[in-house]
Amino acid sequence: MKSIYVFVGLCVGLAFPAWLAGQTAESGRYVLNHAEIGAYGDYFRFAPSGSKSTNFVGAGGRASFNVNPNVGIEAEMSYDFARNFSTPVTNGGSTTFVTSSVRPLTGLFGPRFQFGTSGPFRVFATGKVGFVDFSVNNSGTVSGSTFTGAVSGVGNPGTHFALYPGGGIEGFIGPVGIRADGGDEIYLNNGTHNNLRVAVGPTIRF
């Protein structure tokens, strides 16, 4: 066990000077440009074919890691709050309406191409792939169980492959900033369905 500690200490000791030299030699393009985390509120305009569009709002989080100053790899997930839909049910000649709550859960992953590097403003374009899952229940309240139920339901018939081409802008004061982006959240379900998605929220870079 002691030899393991000695080995780990030796590796750290040898790596530290190289890391320190790299930080010292770092140009302005790399300052505050290694990674980014953030939260956001999102607007999702759900427009299924042949049906009236529905506006969802929700919240999400994202994290990205830069492979160089202009290219990052980003992952995000958002959870939109329920909207109620009434479905007619006919039984014995009489029709009643059953109300169900639909909640979209979206997970996306892909590259981000950014311009402006470590300056106070930068614009970016992105192309991500992932899923959108539509969970349904009769509870009108948001709770931990409704969220975990949506997560555990990913992969069931309500889950669809999604694509997200988009872009946006972010502004910073030091490491703290605000980001706005928008694009077309496309999902596949017996055809292609296009849906507007906009997200705005705080972000931190380091």
**Per-residue pLDDT at 103:** 84
What pLDDT was estimated at residue 16? Answer: 43
CATH architecture of 31-205: Beta Barrel (2.40)
Q: Please name the amino acid found at residue 177.
A: G
pLDDT of residue 28: 59
- pLDDT tens, N- to C-terminus, the chain (206 residues): 444 444 445 444 544 444 444 444 345 566 778 899 999 999 999 887 656 788 999 999 999 999 988 999 999 999 998 876 655 556 666 665 555 678 899 999 999 999 877 778 999 999 999 999 988 765 555 544 554 444 444 445 678 999 999 999 999 998 999 999 999 999 998 888 899 999 999 999 98
Please tell me the predicted confidence (pLDDT) of residue 71.
93
Neighbour-count burial for 97-130, b at 16+ CB within 10 Å, e otherwise: eeeebbbbbbbbebbbebebbbeeebebebebeb
End-to-end CA distance of the chain: 36
pTM surpassing 0.75?
Answer: no
Query: Which residues, 6 or more positions from 33, have their beta carbon under 8 angstroms from its beta carbon?
Result: 66, 69, 117, 118, 205
26, HSE (Cβ side, Cα atoms, 13 Å): 17
pLDDT for residue 11: 47
* Cβ pair 32, 206 in contact under 8 A: yes
Helix, strand, coil percentages, rounded to 5, for the chain? 15, 60, 25
